[in-house]
Protein backbone atom coordinates (compact mmCIF):
# COMPACT_ATOMS: atom_id res chain seq x y z
CA UNK A 1 0.00 0.00 0.00
CA UNK A 2 1.66 3.16 -1.29
CA UNK A 3 0.09 5.41 1.37
CA UNK A 4 1.46 3.36 4.28
CA UNK A 5 5.01 3.41 2.88
CA UNK A 6 4.91 7.22 2.95
CA UNK A 7 3.58 7.41 6.51
CA UNK A 8 5.08 4.40 8.25
CA UNK A 9 6.52 5.70 11.52
CA UNK A 10 4.04 7.75 13.47
CA UNK A 11 4.56 9.60 16.73
CA UNK A 12 1.31 10.08 18.63
CA UNK A 13 1.16 12.38 21.65
CA UNK A 14 -1.61 11.79 24.17
CA UNK A 15 -2.06 8.27 22.84
CA UNK A 16 -3.14 6.90 26.23
CA UNK A 17 -6.21 9.15 26.37
CA UNK A 18 -9.61 8.63 24.78
CA UNK A 19 -9.19 9.56 21.10
CA UNK A 20 -5.42 9.05 21.08
CA UNK A 21 -5.68 5.41 22.20
CA UNK A 22 -8.37 4.70 19.62
CA UNK A 23 -6.11 6.29 16.99
CA UNK A 24 -3.05 4.28 18.12
CA UNK A 25 -5.10 1.12 17.69
CA UNK A 26 -6.34 2.31 14.29
CA UNK A 27 -2.74 2.94 13.09
CA UNK A 28 -1.51 -0.44 14.32
CA UNK A 29 -4.32 -2.09 12.36
CA UNK A 30 -3.16 -0.13 9.29
CA UNK A 31 0.37 -1.56 9.65
CA UNK A 32 2.15 1.54 11.01
CA UNK A 33 4.85 1.68 13.70
CA UNK A 34 3.59 3.85 16.55
CA UNK A 35 5.45 5.65 19.32
CA UNK A 36 3.10 7.04 21.95
CA UNK A 37 4.34 9.90 24.14
CA UNK A 38 1.93 10.47 27.02
CA UNK A 39 2.38 12.03 30.42
CA UNK A 40 -0.36 9.85 31.94
CA UNK A 41 -2.27 12.63 33.64
CA UNK A 42 -5.47 11.61 35.42
CA UNK A 43 -7.05 11.42 31.93
CA UNK A 44 -4.48 9.05 30.45
CA UNK A 45 -4.53 5.33 31.08
CA UNK A 46 -2.14 2.84 29.50
CA UNK A 47 -4.76 0.17 30.13
CA UNK A 48 -6.34 1.67 27.01
CA UNK A 49 -3.45 0.16 25.03
CA UNK A 50 -2.77 -2.96 27.13
CA UNK A 51 -3.65 -5.25 24.20
CA UNK A 52 -0.71 -3.71 22.27
CA UNK A 53 1.98 -4.19 24.90
CA UNK A 54 3.38 -7.32 23.23
CA UNK A 55 3.14 -5.78 19.74
CA UNK A 56 6.61 -4.83 18.51
CA UNK A 57 5.14 -2.08 16.30
CA UNK A 58 3.93 -0.22 19.42
CA UNK A 59 6.13 1.65 21.86
CA UNK A 60 4.99 3.69 24.87
CA UNK A 61 7.07 6.46 26.38
CA UNK A 62 5.85 8.16 29.54
CA UNK A 63 6.75 11.84 29.28
CA UNK A 64 5.66 15.41 28.76
CA UNK A 65 5.30 17.15 25.37
CA UNK A 66 7.01 20.12 27.06
CA UNK A 67 10.20 18.05 27.39
CA UNK A 68 11.91 19.21 24.20
CA UNK A 69 14.97 16.94 24.59
CA UNK A 70 12.76 13.90 24.84
CA UNK A 71 10.61 14.97 21.87
CA UNK A 72 13.73 15.63 19.76
CA UNK A 73 15.15 12.22 20.63
CA UNK A 74 11.93 10.40 19.78
CA UNK A 75 11.58 12.14 16.41
CA UNK A 76 15.20 11.49 15.48
CA UNK A 77 15.65 7.93 16.75
CA UNK A 78 12.49 6.60 15.18
CA UNK A 79 12.63 8.27 11.73
CA UNK A 80 9.20 9.74 12.38
CA UNK A 81 7.18 10.55 9.23
CA UNK A 82 4.27 12.21 11.02
CA UNK A 83 3.59 13.57 14.50
CA UNK A 84 -0.10 13.53 15.45
CA UNK A 85 -0.75 15.75 18.46
CA UNK A 86 -3.62 14.72 20.72
CA UNK A 87 -1.94 15.60 24.02
CA UNK A 88 -4.04 18.17 25.83
CA UNK A 89 -5.99 19.04 28.90
CA UNK A 90 -9.44 18.45 27.50
CA UNK A 91 -12.15 18.97 30.10
CA UNK A 92 -13.93 22.34 29.99
CA UNK A 93 -15.02 22.19 33.66
CA UNK A 94 -11.41 21.69 34.79
CA UNK A 95 -10.34 24.62 32.62
CA UNK A 96 -12.74 26.85 34.52
CA UNK A 97 -11.44 25.69 37.92
CA UNK A 98 -7.71 25.27 37.14
CA UNK A 99 -6.84 26.97 33.82
CA UNK A 100 -3.06 27.09 34.18
CA UNK A 101 -2.38 23.47 33.23
CA UNK A 102 -4.39 24.09 30.04
CA UNK A 103 -2.08 26.90 29.02
CA UNK A 104 1.04 24.87 29.86
CA UNK A 105 0.09 21.78 27.90
CA UNK A 106 -2.21 23.04 25.17
CA UNK A 107 -0.28 26.20 24.27
CA UNK A 108 3.34 25.83 25.49
CA UNK A 109 3.34 22.09 24.78
CA UNK A 110 2.21 22.64 21.19
CA UNK A 111 4.85 25.34 20.80
CA UNK A 112 7.58 22.94 22.00
CA UNK A 113 6.38 20.24 19.62
CA UNK A 114 6.35 22.69 16.70
CA UNK A 115 9.92 23.77 17.41
CA UNK A 116 11.14 20.18 17.50
CA UNK A 117 9.07 19.32 14.44
CA UNK A 118 10.76 22.14 12.57
CA UNK A 119 14.23 20.82 13.45
CA UNK A 120 13.19 17.30 12.43
CA UNK A 121 11.67 18.52 9.15
CA UNK A 122 15.09 19.79 7.99
CA UNK A 123 16.23 16.15 7.76
CA UNK A 124 12.92 14.52 6.82
CA UNK A 125 11.55 16.50 3.92
CA UNK A 126 8.13 14.80 3.85
CA UNK A 127 7.61 15.02 7.61
CA UNK A 128 4.16 16.26 8.58
CA UNK A 129 2.70 17.70 11.79
CA UNK A 130 -0.98 16.95 12.32
CA UNK A 131 -2.67 18.93 15.06
CA UNK A 132 -5.93 17.57 16.46
CA UNK A 133 -8.26 20.33 17.58
CA UNK A 134 -11.86 21.02 18.39
CA UNK A 135 -14.90 22.79 16.96
CA UNK A 136 -15.13 24.69 20.25
CA UNK A 137 -12.57 27.21 18.94
CA UNK A 138 -15.33 28.65 16.72
CA UNK A 139 -17.51 29.62 19.70
CA UNK A 140 -21.22 29.14 20.11
CA UNK A 141 -24.06 29.09 17.55
CA UNK A 142 -27.68 30.12 17.84
CA UNK A 143 -30.36 27.65 16.80
CA UNK A 144 -30.64 28.83 13.20
CA UNK A 145 -27.02 29.83 12.53
CA UNK A 146 -25.13 28.08 9.73
CA UNK A 147 -22.72 25.30 10.78
CA UNK A 148 -19.02 26.09 11.33
CA UNK A 149 -16.95 26.03 8.17
CA UNK A 150 -13.14 26.12 8.03
CA UNK A 151 -13.24 29.85 7.31
CA UNK A 152 -15.30 30.69 10.40
CA UNK A 153 -13.74 33.27 12.66
CA UNK A 154 -12.37 31.97 15.94
CA UNK A 155 -14.42 32.95 18.96
CA UNK A 156 -13.49 30.68 21.89
CA UNK A 157 -15.44 31.12 25.12
CA UNK A 158 -13.88 28.80 27.71
CA UNK A 159 -10.27 28.64 28.94
CA UNK A 160 -10.13 25.20 27.26
CA UNK A 161 -11.27 26.43 23.84
CA UNK A 162 -9.12 29.56 24.15
CA UNK A 163 -6.06 27.40 24.77
CA UNK A 164 -6.90 25.15 21.83
CA UNK A 165 -7.51 28.21 19.63
CA UNK A 166 -4.08 29.54 20.62
CA UNK A 167 -2.45 26.25 19.69
CA UNK A 168 -4.24 26.23 16.31
CA UNK A 169 -2.87 29.72 15.62
CA UNK A 170 0.65 28.60 16.51
CA UNK A 171 0.36 25.67 14.10
CA UNK A 172 -0.82 28.01 11.35
CA UNK A 173 2.03 30.45 12.05
CA UNK A 174 4.69 27.71 11.95
CA UNK A 175 3.40 26.84 8.48
CA UNK A 176 3.13 30.39 7.18
CA UNK A 177 6.36 31.66 8.70
CA UNK A 178 8.64 28.62 8.75
CA UNK A 179 7.09 26.46 6.03
CA UNK A 180 6.41 23.51 8.36
CA UNK A 181 4.17 20.90 6.72
CA UNK A 182 1.10 21.07 8.97
CA UNK A 183 -2.54 20.10 8.99
CA UNK A 184 -5.13 21.03 11.60
CA UNK A 185 -8.36 19.13 12.16
CA UNK A 186 -11.27 20.62 14.11
CA UNK A 187 -13.72 17.98 15.22
CA UNK A 188 -16.99 17.98 17.11
CA UNK A 189 -17.79 15.95 20.25
CA UNK A 190 -16.52 12.39 20.14
CA UNK A 191 -18.05 9.41 21.88
CA UNK A 192 -17.09 5.75 22.06
CA UNK A 193 -15.00 3.27 24.05
CA UNK A 194 -12.25 4.40 26.46
CA UNK A 195 -13.50 7.91 27.19
CA UNK A 196 -12.79 9.26 30.67
CA UNK A 197 -15.93 9.05 32.88
CA UNK A 198 -15.84 12.81 33.50
CA UNK A 199 -17.47 13.40 30.07
CA UNK A 200 -21.24 13.40 29.44
CA UNK A 201 -21.75 10.03 27.71
CA UNK A 202 -19.56 7.75 29.86
CA UNK A 203 -20.67 9.61 33.00
CA UNK A 204 -24.32 8.97 32.12
CA UNK A 205 -23.72 5.28 31.41
CA UNK A 206 -21.64 4.65 34.55
CA UNK A 207 -23.83 6.65 36.92
CA UNK A 208 -26.92 4.91 35.55
CA UNK A 209 -25.46 1.43 36.06
CA UNK A 210 -24.38 2.44 39.58
CA UNK A 211 -27.88 3.87 40.25
CA UNK A 212 -26.39 7.30 40.96
CA UNK A 213 -28.00 10.60 39.90
CA UNK A 214 -27.33 11.53 36.27
CA UNK A 215 -26.50 15.26 36.18
CA UNK A 216 -27.78 17.33 33.27
CA UNK A 217 -26.57 20.92 32.91
CA UNK A 218 -29.34 23.59 32.97
CA UNK A 219 -32.46 22.48 31.14
CA UNK A 220 -30.49 20.11 28.89
CA UNK A 221 -31.20 22.11 25.75
CA UNK A 222 -27.54 22.68 24.74
CA UNK A 223 -26.77 21.13 21.38
CA UNK A 224 -23.63 19.24 20.37
CA UNK A 225 -22.69 17.43 17.18
CA UNK A 226 -21.60 13.87 18.00
CA UNK A 227 -19.16 11.67 16.08
CA UNK A 228 -18.15 8.07 16.84
CA UNK A 229 -14.47 8.06 17.79
CA UNK A 230 -13.34 5.54 15.16
CA UNK A 231 -14.92 7.71 12.44
CA UNK A 232 -12.85 10.60 13.78
CA UNK A 233 -9.73 8.39 13.59
CA UNK A 234 -10.52 7.58 9.96
CA UNK A 235 -10.88 11.30 9.22
CA UNK A 236 -7.54 12.13 10.86
CA UNK A 237 -5.89 9.25 8.98
CA UNK A 238 -7.20 10.54 5.65
CA UNK A 239 -5.95 14.04 6.48
CA UNK A 240 -2.57 12.62 7.47
CA UNK A 241 -2.16 10.76 4.19
CA UNK A 242 -3.89 12.96 1.68
CA UNK A 243 -4.63 16.33 3.27
CA UNK A 244 -3.12 19.39 1.68
CA UNK A 245 -0.32 21.05 3.62
CA UNK A 246 -1.33 24.14 5.60
CA UNK A 247 -5.03 23.25 5.36
CA UNK A 248 -7.68 22.95 8.04
CA UNK A 249 -10.32 20.20 7.89
CA UNK A 250 -13.50 20.21 9.95
CA UNK A 251 -14.70 16.77 11.01
CA UNK A 252 -18.17 16.08 12.38
CA UNK A 253 -21.05 13.65 12.48
CA UNK A 254 -23.87 15.75 10.97
CA UNK A 255 -25.61 14.56 14.09
CA UNK A 256 -26.80 17.40 16.32
CA UNK A 257 -28.51 16.41 19.52
CA UNK A 258 -29.50 18.18 22.72
CA UNK A 259 -27.82 16.93 25.88
CA UNK A 260 -31.28 16.02 27.12
CA UNK A 261 -31.81 13.76 24.10
CA UNK A 262 -28.43 12.06 24.62
CA UNK A 263 -29.05 11.31 28.28
CA UNK A 264 -32.58 10.03 27.68
CA UNK A 265 -31.42 7.91 24.72
CA UNK A 266 -28.73 6.24 26.85
CA UNK A 267 -31.28 5.55 29.58
CA UNK A 268 -33.73 4.01 27.15
CA UNK A 269 -31.06 1.75 25.57
CA UNK A 270 -29.92 0.70 29.05
CA UNK A 271 -33.55 -0.09 29.93
CA UNK A 272 -33.41 -2.64 27.07
CA UNK A 273 -29.91 -4.09 27.39
CA UNK A 274 -29.60 -4.01 31.21
CA UNK A 275 -33.16 -3.94 32.55
CA UNK A 276 -33.56 -2.03 35.81
CA UNK A 277 -35.13 -5.03 37.54
CA UNK A 278 -32.02 -7.12 36.83
CA UNK A 279 -29.62 -4.42 38.08
CA UNK A 280 -29.13 -5.02 41.78
CA UNK A 281 -27.84 -1.46 42.30
CA UNK A 282 -31.25 -0.03 41.43
CA UNK A 283 -33.81 0.67 44.19
CA UNK A 284 -36.86 -1.59 43.94
CA UNK A 285 -39.23 1.33 43.28
CA UNK A 286 -37.50 2.45 40.07
CA UNK A 287 -38.66 1.37 36.64
CA UNK A 288 -36.34 3.25 34.27
CA UNK A 289 -32.84 4.69 34.37
CA UNK A 290 -34.33 8.00 33.23
CA UNK A 291 -35.69 8.46 36.78
CA UNK A 292 -32.07 9.14 37.82
CA UNK A 293 -31.75 12.25 35.62
CA UNK A 294 -31.34 15.45 37.62
CA UNK A 295 -31.05 19.00 36.28
CA UNK A 296 -28.06 20.80 37.83
CA UNK A 297 -26.80 24.39 37.76
CA UNK A 298 -25.53 25.31 34.30
CA UNK A 299 -21.80 25.63 33.51
CA UNK A 300 -20.67 29.29 33.33
CA UNK A 301 -20.22 30.51 29.73
CA UNK A 302 -21.79 27.26 28.49
CA UNK A 303 -21.80 27.33 24.67
CA UNK A 304 -25.34 26.75 23.38
CA UNK A 305 -24.74 24.95 20.10
CA UNK A 306 -21.98 23.51 17.91
CA UNK A 307 -22.57 22.36 14.38
CA UNK A 308 -20.04 21.38 11.71
CA UNK A 309 -20.02 21.82 7.95
CA UNK A 310 -18.14 18.70 6.82
CA UNK A 311 -18.37 19.29 3.06
CA UNK A 312 -14.62 19.97 2.64
CA UNK A 313 -13.36 16.68 4.06
CA UNK A 314 -16.21 14.76 2.44
CA UNK A 315 -15.54 16.21 -1.03
CA UNK A 316 -11.75 16.52 -0.99
CA UNK A 317 -10.76 13.44 1.01
CA UNK A 318 -13.81 11.23 0.38
CA UNK A 319 -14.36 10.77 4.11
CA UNK A 320 -17.70 9.93 5.65
CA UNK A 321 -18.70 8.44 8.99
CA UNK A 322 -19.43 4.72 9.02
CA UNK A 323 -21.58 4.79 12.16
CA UNK A 324 -24.96 6.36 12.72
CA UNK A 325 -25.62 7.67 16.21
CA UNK A 326 -27.86 4.63 16.83
CA UNK A 327 -25.15 2.09 15.96
CA UNK A 328 -22.33 4.03 17.61
CA UNK A 329 -24.09 4.65 20.92
CA UNK A 330 -25.09 0.99 21.20
CA UNK A 331 -21.45 -0.08 20.67
CA UNK A 332 -20.36 2.46 23.27
CA UNK A 333 -22.87 1.36 25.90
CA UNK A 334 -22.00 -2.31 25.34
CA UNK A 335 -18.29 -1.51 25.69
CA UNK A 336 -18.83 0.19 29.06
CA UNK A 337 -20.98 -2.69 30.26
CA UNK A 338 -18.28 -5.21 29.20
CA UNK A 339 -15.53 -3.16 30.84
CA UNK A 340 -17.54 -2.03 33.84
CA UNK A 341 -15.09 -3.36 36.43
CA UNK A 342 -12.63 -0.71 35.33
CA UNK A 343 -15.12 2.10 35.93
CA UNK A 344 -17.34 0.85 38.72
CA UNK A 345 -15.83 3.32 41.21
CA UNK A 346 -15.83 6.25 38.76
CA UNK A 347 -19.34 7.61 39.36
CA UNK A 348 -19.52 11.30 40.12
CA UNK A 349 -21.88 12.20 42.94
Could you give the string, one character per residue 192-221, with x where binding to ligand NAD holds by CB under 6 A and - elsewhere? ----x-------------------------
| Options 11, 64, 121, 200; binder of ligand NAD; rule CB under 6 A | 64
**Contact in structure between 117 and 80 (CB atoms under 8 Å):** no
Site stretch for ligand NAD (CB under 6 A), options 31-39, 264-272, 273-281, 291-299: 31-39
Q: How many residues bind ligand NAD (CB under 6 A)?
A: 32
**Helices marked H in the chain:** 2-6, 18-29, 68-77, 92-97, 100-102, 110-123, 159-178, 200-209, 229-242, 259-273, 311-317, 325-338, 340-343
Closest contact distance (angstroms) between CB of 191 and ligand NAD is: 7
For residue 308, what is the DSSP state?
B
Q: Does 105 bind ligand NAD (CB under 6 A)?
A: yes
DSSP bridge pairs for 83: 11, 129
Active site residues: 135-136, 160
**Contact in structure between 252 and 227 (CB atoms under 8 Å):** yes
Q: Does 39 bind ligand NAD (CB under 6 A)?
A: yes
Determine the angle formed by the axes of helices 110-123 and 159-178, rounding to 10 degrees: 20
Q: What is the per-residue burial (b if ≥16 Cβ within 10 Å, else e) of 275-298?
A: ebeeeeebeeeeebbbbbbeeeee
Q: Does 13 bind ligand NAD (CB under 6 A)?
A: yes
Q: Does 14 bind ligand NAD (CB under 6 A)?
A: yes
Q: Does 190 bind ligand NAD (CB under 6 A)?
A: yes
| Options 35, 165, 187, 263; binder of ligand NAD; rule CB under 6 A | 187
- Whole-angstrom Cα distance, residue 239 to residue 285? 51
Q: Which of residues 118-157 bind ligand NAD (CB under 6 A)?
A: 132-134
Residues that bind ligand NAD (CB under 6 A): 13-14, 16-20, 37-41, 43-44, 64-66, 86-90, 105, 109, 132-134, 164, 187, 189-190, 196
Amino acid sequence: NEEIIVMKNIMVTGGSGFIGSNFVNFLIEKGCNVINLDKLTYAGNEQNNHHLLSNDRYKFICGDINDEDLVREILRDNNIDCLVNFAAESHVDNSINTPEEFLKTNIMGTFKLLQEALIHSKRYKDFRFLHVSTDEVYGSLKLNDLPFSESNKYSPNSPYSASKASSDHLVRAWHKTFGLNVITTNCSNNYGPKQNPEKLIPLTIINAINAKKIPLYGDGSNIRDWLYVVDHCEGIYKCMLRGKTGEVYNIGGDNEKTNKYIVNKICSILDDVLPVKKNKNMPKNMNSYSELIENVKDRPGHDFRYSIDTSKIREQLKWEPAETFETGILKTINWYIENFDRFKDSSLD
